Amino acid sequence: MKNFLDLQATELCLDVVVNGQATKNYLYDHLTFDTDQIVTVDEIEILPKYTYLAINGKLHIDQPFYMWYHQVSGQGWLLKPCQG
């Protein structure tokens, strides 16, 4: 069984699908998409749902995806490990 530190060391990936084309991105990658695309990340609809956040036809996710998604979707608490 993995402990919390083992989980932090795991290279987790995001499943990004743009117009039906699947790719993998690292969990902490910054992402940019054109607003004329259909985009899902880990089966979560991003475009066209969040088109209103785009600037000049591009949606920039300039922080780790799940931190960004937590803010724009307004969902619950996001827990962070203590820095000791």
- Secondary structure of residue 78 in the 3-state scheme: coil
pTM, whole model, 2 decimals? 0.74
Give the residue extent of every domain in the chain. Answer: 12-73
The values of phi and psi at residue 60, to 5°, are -105, 125
* Segment 40-57, tens digit of pLDDT: 998 999 999 999 999 999
Nearby residues of 3 by Cβ (< 8 Å), 6 or more positions away: none
* Segment 12-25, tens digit of pLDDT: 789 999 999 999 99
Confidence at 9, pLDDT banded by 50, 70, 90: low
